[in-house]
Chain A
Amino acid sequence: MSDSIEDLEIQLLLEALHQRYHYDFRHYARASIKRRLAQARAQLGFPTISALQDRVLHDPNMLPRLLDFLTVQVSEMFRDPSYFRALRETVLPHLRTYPSLKVWIAGCSMGEEVYSLAILFREEGLYDRTIFYATDINPEALAAAEAGVYALDRIRKFTENHQKSGGKSSLSDYYTAAYGRAAFDKSLRSRVVFSDHSLVTDAVFAEMHLISCRNVMIYFDRPLQDRAIGLFRDSLTRKGFLGLGSKESLRFSAHAGAFVEFVEGEKIYQRRDP
């Protein structure tokens, strides 16, 4: 690898963010961080990463703007419809046997997946016995997730995905459209706890039946992936479920042995008996 000045600047900036603000990106996959920081530098108008670092160290108002570049993920509702179909057809029949349920959406960003799961659980009659934990490290993303308002031009794709996932209702039952936006019904978040939680530094906070963490860990390096997967293992109840992104896998993880593949091809795993 080339140890360019830019690489050094990135390392110093990540160290500065950690020491000054306790945001730890030091074990994020470096290639993507580098692209995102290059974008942040250009769009925020700094000549160098060092100049950006200087500003963010001295001006806390710059932090949220930088965090948006480093953390925010645009997803879709019911992204990868086959994943939600597999949850509906294969995982929920197991969850149905519990009197109460806890579901954790880790790295929920703007909340698309939170509302998708809330709708799925409502369609399957499990919503009222479930508590959902939606966590992220970016406070602005969490606020957006809690608001549940999306641009209307994205709804068509959301609706298509929802239908492909085996949706039993119409997505339009759950939002009100006005002024180019779709606002999702607050009853969908009446049982959702939105909370700041870091997979890098924070610990287990409840015993979960299902954890969905998709396309979050691809941004982590392998040691950090191992930490997160260990945290998921320790957070899951006996025979609890873990859903990952369609191109993520436990194959290269130190904790692969703690899980069995539950739905082949869908990256849905079940925790083994300890």
Chain B
Amino acid sequence: MSRPPPAAIVIGASAGAVQALLTILPALPASFPLPVLVVVHVPADRDNVLVPLLQAKCRLTVKEAEDKEPISAGVVYFAPSDYHLLVETDGGLALSTDEAVNYSRPAIDVLFESAADVYGASLIGVILTGANHDGARGLRAVCDAGGVAIVQDKAEAYATAMPAAARDACPAATTMTLDAIASYLASLGVA
């Protein structure tokens, strides 16, 4: 069975996220043809410092997601702190202040499940380093919808609980190092 071409990438990370994202996102070329949606667990009352940090290092536009914003290719959207980020059925972004999932808001599961619902087999889901189990159900939803599931290699992850839980929930997921994830994703931009 052949998969449709990828339409979007979702990434979830927690403890150790900054270093991991600094390996992956700057590797994407300016002409990258897909949107990238990212949930990182950050404290509720903190401004998202990741956005300016990564914008300085990336060739793509990096921004905090806004409610009802249309999704554009070649843009990296971060969930704002204290809001869940979802993909809407009309292909836009949506935020919610629904209760925390896995003690997290934003929660990786919420983004991944809503994205799997909309993009189905055209979605690539990536679970990186983290010290909790958020993202496991979400990655499972990506698998169940026929999408590509990737988890960071535990051997190099700063915190292993999250990739391990995601792998357990979704045995079909491919395990990769950060460098391998970076070059795989970057290759999607080469026609």
Nearest residue, chain B, Cβ from A75? B97
From the candidates B66, B91, B92, name the one contacting A247 in the complex (CB within 8 A).
B66
Contact-size category for B: 20 to 34
User: Taking the nearest CB of chain B, how far is it from the CB of A224, in angstroms?
Assistant: 11
A74 and B99 contact, CB distance less than 8 A: yes
B118 and A2 contact, CB distance less than 8 A: yes
Interface membership of chain A positions 232-249, coded 1 if the CB is closer than 8 angstroms to chain B and 0 otherwise: 000000000000010111
Q: Which residues of B contact A31 (CB under 8 A)?
A: 86-89, 94, 114, 117-118
Interface membership of chain B positions 47-81, coded 1 if the CB is closer than 8 angstroms to chain A and 0 otherwise: 00000000000000000001111000000000010
B114 and A249 contact, CB distance less than 8 A: no
Interface size on A, residues (CB 8 A): 26
Interface membership of chain B positions 118-142, coded 1 if the CB is closer than 8 angstroms to chain A and 0 otherwise: 1010000000000000000000000
In the complex with contacts A32-B86, A225-B68, A73-B117 CB distance below 8 A: no
B98 and A30 contact, CB distance less than 8 A: no
Further contacts, 11 of them, CB under 8 A, given A225-B68, A248-B67: A1-B118, A2-B145, A29-B96, A31-B117, A35-B96, A36-B98, A74-B99, A218-B97, A221-B90, A247-B80, A252-B69
User: Could you show 20 A-B contacts with beta carbons less than 8 Å apart?
Assistant: A1-B117, A1-B118, A2-B120, A2-B145, A29-B96, A31-B88, A31-B118, A32-B86, A34-B117, A35-B113, A35-B114, A218-B67, A218-B97, A221-B88, A222-B68, A222-B92, A247-B83, A251-B66, A252-B68, A252-B69
* A residues lining the B interface (CB < 8 Å): 1-2, 7, 29-32, 34-36, 73-75, 215, 217-219, 221-222, 225, 245, 247-249, 251-252
